């Protein structure tokens, strides 16, 4: 089911992919990768609270193994205006040694979120 959701997402059918992925996480509630995919789809649909819930479904004990959870959480927290929490998540994500593209994105976010001195 997750594979089909991935295929739908690649075709741009995000809403259908999200619905299918939600069903998949209900069937396999102990599969972290399913929740990560769901979180990404929810973020794509601008369903920020649902994206955070999906991240929580991964389980914090798995966040080190699946650092993308921190990236998604940080993005959502930034969008929601929770700057301090977003910065914390972005910094934690950087510790996972992300690929160059993600590192640049996160460093730009941290620069953007740096408090200005008036």
pLDDT, one tens digit per residue, over 102-113 is: 999 999 999 999
Same domain, 11 and 53: yes
Residue owning tokens 């995000």: 14
- The residue from 43, 59, 75 where one domain ends is 59
Same domain, 76 and 55: no
pLDDT of 118 reads 42
DSSP 116: P
Same domain, 1 and 55: yes
Show the tokens assigned to 43: 């973020």
Measured in degrees and rounded to the nearest 5, phi and psi for residue 81 equal 80, 15
**How many Cβ atoms are within 10 Å of 114's Cβ, its own excluded?**
10
**How many Cβ atoms are within 10 Å of 44's Cβ, its own excluded?**
15
Q: What's the rounded Cα separation, in Å, for the pair 2 and 113?
A: 34
Domain hosting 107: range is 67-118
Average pLDDT of the chain? 93
Position 13 pLDDT exceeds 90 = yes
Flag whether the pTM goes above 0.85. yes
Same domain, 4 and 25: yes
Q: How many domains does the chain have?
A: 2
Same domain, 49 and 24: yes
């Amino acid at each position: 089911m997750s594979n089909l959701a991935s295929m739908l997402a690649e075709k741009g059918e995000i809403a259908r992919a999200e619905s299918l992925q939600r069903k998949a996480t209900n069937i396999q509630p102990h599969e972290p990768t399913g929740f990560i995919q769901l979180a990404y789809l929810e973020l794509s649909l601008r369903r920020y609270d649902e994206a955070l819930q999906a991240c929580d479904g991964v389980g914090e004990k798995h966040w080190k193994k699946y650092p993308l959870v921190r990236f998604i959480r940080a993005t959502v927290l930034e969008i929601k205006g929770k700057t301090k929490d977003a910065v914390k998540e972005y910094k934690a994500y950087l510790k996972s040694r992300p690929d160059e593209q993600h590192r640049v994105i996160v460093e730009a976010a941290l620069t953007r979120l740096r408090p200005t001195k008036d």
